[in-house]
Amino acid sequence: MTAQARSRIPGAVPETPVSSGKLNVERIRADFPILKLNVAGRPLVYLDNAASSQMPQPVIDRLVRYQTEQHANIHRGVHYLSETATAAYEESRRKIQHFINAREDREVIFTSGTTEAVNLVMHGFGRKFLTAGDEVILTTLEHHSNIVPWQMLRDEKGIKIRVVPINDAGEFLIDEYEKLFNERTRFVGVMHVSNALGTVNPVKAMIAYAHARGVPVLVDGAQAAPHLKVDVQDLDCDFYAFSGHKLCGPTGIGILYGKAVQLERMQPFKGGGDMILSVSFEKTAYNAIPYKFEAGTPPIAAAIGLGAAVDYLLALGMDAIATHEHELLEYATAQVSGMPGVRIVGTARHKSAVLSFTIAGVHPHDVGTLLNQDGVAVRTGHHCAQPVMQRFSIPATSRASFAFYNTMGEVDALVAGIRNVQKVFG
Amino acid sequence: MADPKALYQEVILDHNRKPRNFGTLSQASHTAEGHNPLCGDHITLALELRGDAIEGIAFQGESCAICKASASMMTAMVKGKTRQTAETLIKEFRDMATGALDVGQGDHHLGRLTVFAGVRDLPTRVKCAILPWHTLHAAFNSVSSTSTEAGDDPMHAPIGDA
């Protein structure tokens, strides 16, 4: 009922979600039950997609179908349900393989999310191959999840962390990156798209430069996979990590892509069932990849749900998604940059759908609480990227982050909300 | 902001714009720093205690409007009072902010501080309002720095019972 009431011309909405490369956003929104919510008596304007995006009905339905008709433990039983669940789980792995264009399905490892994926690389690769004095290059833009694991390795092994600086626009300086390489450089960790600023980093060129010096590269793609076409073979990255719940999938599931040649020489991260071939108290033989890295019963429903989410995004088309989100960002940037007292933080030439901003004289947490009173959901805080905040000498920002189901009208609601904040604090 | 339950009432906005007792004390007997790492709120509180009497109190820092107004109103409220009175207010304020005390029902001494009652409906902002009180409690007990998180979390380590 609400969906119909909200649609501007009832009955005139075409059935297809995409036509001639353009998204039919009204049609798409009808797939997302949560977008019909009212918050504080206003229609929900959900602009916190970089933290977590919402789930469309086909993904919800897939979770329900799995739980009502297909659930059993995987890779174990010979009975019908176990075989059905195993087939669905492995089919989801292949869907994700195609989504990122991995060469083989065994290069796709289910993790609990991006954070666990990075930790897996730190434990599986870093702890095995890095020794005292070795250097890891990270960037100022990194999320804490791609900083802290390497600091743990530093404290354990005595490795050195070197950091690529960024300019005032929030872009990092490729020549500064190149200068950080030396004979002790062993690993590079870089974010594809900045969660705090939206900067799209030139990861392909960075990977090529590192590879020319024999250095493997991990790309944190948590903010890229939902918004642009990711081709791990074209990037030629050694590792690529992303999360399901930022991709319209469930929480508790994420992906580590790794080149088979890397994964095979790494040590396991967690020990337990499913990651072994044989166990005795004297000796254990590890399973082949990807199972070597999937100890214990995984979140099976979530993994299958992520496959359904990938299907949903691919049906819309990643290019159409990127085009629509770019239009939202351009429109929002134009609106907000014209507002006196509002400063956009992160003005890179290549940006994804993130608009971080500060309002003069108003703490971001007050901005967030007041916007919430208008039904507008934004993230406020340091975005788990305190080094970025330190770089701009601010404690926090407010961040609007867009998804393909957002509308220009919602950008207008954000702008009106910012005006109201300024009025209250005026 | 016609809604009387709304948090950003004029009194809070006024204390945010013109915080009372904002600065330092030349003769502080007790100081403490309070920090909320989740949102970056940071205040320094200075006390001049003579016996049990709060002769002087001042605060400084960077914080959101809720925290700054809470600190400002707290200092105005406890200045010239006794430590015991302040400890009672610390407990009552915390109970109000966490919903344990309904200011419309129970006995209390909060007076104008009841403008903060609305934070109990905003779990992420409760600690913004409590931080100054938590820091005052730390100062009374000669604890030089405190935080709203981990072992110092006022939600888990109740304040006001020292």
pLDDT tens, A173-212? 899 999 999 999 999 999 999 999 999 999 999 999 999 9
Residues of chain A neighbouring B35 (CB-CB closer than 8 A): none
Residues of chain A neighbouring B38 (CB-CB closer than 8 A): 381
The answer, for B37 touching chain A at a CB cutoff of 8 Å, is: no
Q: Cβ–Cβ of A363/B6 closer than 8 Å? A: no
The answer, for B130 touching chain A at a CB cutoff of 8 Å, is: no
Dump pLDDT digits (tens) for B52-64.
999 999 999 999 9
The answer, for A381 touching chain B at a CB cutoff of 8 Å, is: yes
Residues of A taking part in catalysis: 384
As a whole number of angstroms, the distance between CA A149 and CA A116 comes to 10
- Identify residue A173 by its one-letter amino acid code: L
Kindly report the length of chain B.
162
Contact A102, A232 (CB under 8 A): yes
Q: Check whether residue A134 and residue A202 sit in a common domain.
A: yes
Distance (Å) from the alpha carbon of B11 to chain A's nearest alpha carbon: 12
At residue B159 the predicted structure's pLDDT band, cuts being 50, 70 and 90, is very low
- Tracing tokens 């179908």 back to the chain, one arrives at A65
Backbone angles phi, psi at A275, to 5 degrees: -95, 10
Q: Check whether residue A295 and residue A346 sit in a common domain.
A: no
Q: Cβ–Cβ of B63/A363 closer than 8 Å? A: yes
Dump pLDDT digits (tens) for A365-408.
999 999 999 999 999 988 888 899 899 998 889 999 999 999 99
Residues of chain B neighbouring A380 (CB-CB closer than 8 A): 39
Q: Check whether residue A260 and residue A338 sit in a common domain.
A: no
* Domain-located, residue B62: yes
Residues of chain A neighbouring B8 (CB-CB closer than 8 A): 366, 369-370, 424
- A313 or A281, which is more confident: A313
The answer, for A51 touching chain B at a CB cutoff of 8 Å, is: no
The pair of three-digit structure tokens given for residue A38, joined into one six-digit string: 């009212």
* Residue A106: predicted pLDDT: 98
Residues of chain B neighbouring A364 (CB-CB closer than 8 A): 39, 64
Task: Give the alpha-carbon dihedral of A413, A417, A419, A420, to 10 degrees.
Answer: 140
pLDDT at A6 over 50: no
Average pLDDT, chain A: 94
Q: Check whether residue A211 and residue A247 sit in a common domain.
A: yes
* Residue A395: predicted pLDDT: 84
Give the CATH number of the domain where residue A11 resides. 3.90.1150.10
Q: Cβ–Cβ of B6/A373 closer than 8 Å? A: yes
The pair of three-digit structure tokens given for residue A223, joined into one six-digit string: 């903010």
Give, in order, the Cα–Cα distances in Å from A51 to each of A54, A70, A147, A193, A368: 10, 30, 18, 13, 14
pLDDT at A8 over 60: no
- Identify residue A227 by its one-letter amino acid code: H
Contact A240, A222 (CB under 8 A): no
β-pair partners for B146: B34
The partner residue sitting opposite B40, judged by closest CB among A373, A396, A424, is A396
At residue A13 the predicted structure's pLDDT band, cuts being 50, 70 and 90, is very low
pLDDT at A7 over 70: no
The partner residue sitting opposite A395, judged by closest CB among B8, B40, B124, is B40
* Domain-located, residue B161: no
Q: Check whether residue A214 and residue A304 sit in a common domain.
A: yes
Contact A104, A115 (CB under 8 A): no
Residues of chain B neighbouring A362 (CB-CB closer than 8 A): 65
pLDDT at A9 over 80: no
- Tracing tokens 């709304």 back to the chain, one arrives at B6
Q: For testing the chain B interface, which of A39, A362, A363 should be mutated: the one with the most B CBs within 10 Å? A: A363
User: Average pLDDT for residues A90-118, to the nearest whole number?
Assistant: 98
Domain enclosing residue B96, as ranges: 10-152
β-pair partners for A193: A200
The answer, for A43 touching chain B at a CB cutoff of 8 Å, is: no
Q: What per-residue string of b and e applies to B9-42 under the rule 16 or more CB within 10 Å gives b? A: beebbebbeebbbeeebeebebbbbbbbebbbbb
pLDDT at A10 over 80: no
Dump pLDDT digits (tens) for A245-278.
999 999 999 999 999 999 999 999 999 888 888 9
* Residue A15: predicted pLDDT: 59
β-pair partners for A138: A163
Closest CA to A370 of A320, A422, A321, A405: A422
At residue A40 the predicted structure's pLDDT band, cuts being 50, 70 and 90, is confident
Q: Cβ–Cβ of B65/A373 closer than 8 Å? A: no
Who's near A82: CB < 8 A, 6+ residues apart? A72, A73, A74, A76
Give the CATH number of the domain where residue B101 resides. 3.90.1010.10
The partner residue sitting opposite B40, judged by closest CB among A366, A373, A382, is A382
Q: Check whether residue A170 and residue A83 sit in a common domain.
A: yes
Q: Check whether residue A117 and residue A229 sit in a common domain.
A: yes
The partner residue sitting opposite A365, judged by closest CB among B6, B16, B125, is B125
- Identify residue B52 by its one-letter amino acid code: D
As a whole number of angstroms, the distance between CA A84 and CA A103 comes to 25
The partner residue sitting opposite B64, judged by closest CB among A363, A373, A424, is A363
Of A260, A283, A315, the last residue of a domain is: A315
Q: Check whether residue A28 and residue A12 sit in a common domain.
A: yes
Q: Check whether residue A185 and residue A241 sit in a common domain.
A: yes
Up-side HSE of residue B131: CA atoms within 13 Å toward CB?
A: 36
Total domain count for chain A?
2
Contact B58, B21 (CB under 8 A): yes
Total domain count for chain B?
1
Residues of chain A neighbouring B1 (CB-CB closer than 8 A): 424
* Residue B1: predicted pLDDT: 39
At residue B90 the predicted structure's pLDDT band, cuts being 50, 70 and 90, is very high
The partner residue sitting opposite A365, judged by closest CB among B6, B13, B39, is B39
The answer, for B66 touching chain A at a CB cutoff of 8 Å, is: yes
Contact B99, B76 (CB under 8 A): no
User: Average pLDDT for residues B112-125, to the nearest whole number?
Assistant: 91
Strands A160-164 and A135-139: parallel
3-state secondary structure chain A: CHHHHHCCCCCCCCCCCEECCEECHHHHHCCCHHHHCEECCEECEECECCCCCCCCHHHHHHHHHHHHHHCCCCCCCCCHHHHHHHHHHHHHHHHHHHHHCCCCHHHEEEECCHHHHHHHHHHHHHHHHCCCCCEEEEECCCCHHHCHHHHHHHHHHCCEEEEECECCCCCECHHHHHHCCCCCEEEEEEECECCCCCEECCHHHHHHHHHCCCCCEEEECCCCCCCCCCCHHHHCCCEEEEECCCCCCCCCCEEEEECHHHHHHCCCCCCCCCCEEEECCCCEEECCCCHHHCCCCCCHHHHHHHHHHHHHHHHHCHHHHHHHHHHHHHHHHHHHHCCCCEEEECCCCCECCEEEEEECCECHHHHHHHHHHCCEECEEECCCCHHHHHHCCCCCEEEEECCCCCCHHHHHHHHHHHHHHHHHCC
β-pair partners for A40: none
Question: How many CB pairs below 8 Å do chains A and B form together?
Answer: 40
ipTM of this complex prediction, to 2 decimal places: 0.85
The answer, for A362 touching chain B at a CB cutoff of 8 Å, is: yes
User: Average pLDDT for residues A411-419, to the nearest whole number?
Assistant: 98
As a whole number of angstroms, the distance between CA B104 and CA A178 comes to 64
* Percentage of chain A lying above the pLDDT 70 cut: 96
Q: Check whether residue A214 and residue A81 sit in a common domain.
A: yes
* Domain-located, residue B107: yes
Q: Check whether residue A66 and residue A160 sit in a common domain.
A: yes
Q: Check whether residue A113 and residue A7 sit in a common domain.
A: no
Nearest CA in chain B to A386: B40
* Domain-located, residue B159: no
Q: If you ran DSSP here, which 8-state letter would residue B153 be given?
A: -
∠ CA B129-B106-B125, rounded to 5°: 15
Distance (Å) from the alpha carbon of A345 to chain B's nearest alpha carbon: 17
Of A276, A292, A315, the last residue of a domain is: A315
Dump pLDDT digits (tens) for B1-43.
345 457 899 999 999 999 999 999 999 999 999 998 877 789 9
The pair of three-digit structure tokens given for residue B106, joined into one six-digit string: 């129970």
* Residue B162: predicted pLDDT: 30
The answer, for A365 touching chain B at a CB cutoff of 8 Å, is: yes
* Domain-located, residue B24: yes
At residue B149 the predicted structure's pLDDT band, cuts being 50, 70 and 90, is confident
Domain enclosing residue A299, as ranges: 60-315
Give, in order, the Cα–Cα distances in Å from A98 to each of A101, A108, A289, B13, B121: 5, 10, 18, 54, 45
The answer, for B62 touching chain A at a CB cutoff of 8 Å, is: yes
Lowest mean pLDDT among A315-329, A379-393, B83-97: A379-393
As a whole number of angstroms, the distance between CA B10 and CA A289 comes to 62
At residue B144 the predicted structure's pLDDT band, cuts being 50, 70 and 90, is confident
Of A315, A343, A367, the last residue of a domain is: A315
The answer, for A382 touching chain B at a CB cutoff of 8 Å, is: yes
* Residue B156: predicted pLDDT: 56
Q: Cβ–Cβ of A366/B66 closer than 8 Å? A: yes
Nearest CA in chain B to A395: B40
At residue B147 the predicted structure's pLDDT band, cuts being 50, 70 and 90, is confident
- Tracing tokens 């991990």 back to the chain, one arrives at A218
